[in-house]
Amino acid sequence: MESRHDKADRACYSRSWSGALLKHGEAFMASIMIKVAGEGLVAAAHRLADSGPTSGSSVIYEVCNVPEGVNADQVIAAFKKFAVPSDRYEIEFSELPA
């Protein structure tokens, strides 16, 4: 009998992180979580963090649809040049400056 963990492992290969089904040959698009501390430090946040303000003075942003081959350091460097909107916490990678 298949356990729920086996089913979950199998599902990871056929679904993207957002839950959308992927056809064979489609590339996975990643999401990078970024934490902006109240002091101005911009760094990678834990991948399971929720986007939005934290209980402290930090804010977590999710950069969605990061193409394959782009690492977290490159996303953070581009994010530092970006004028962060005050009304939303999810940003498309295509909105970031090159």
Tens-digit pLDDT profile for residues 8-36: 444 444 444 444 444 445 566 789 999 99
Question: What Cα–Cα distance (Å) separates residue 6 from each residue in 10, 13, 19, 21, 33?
Answer: 6, 12, 17, 18, 27
pTM: 0.71
User: In the chain, where are the structural domains located?
Assistant: 27-95
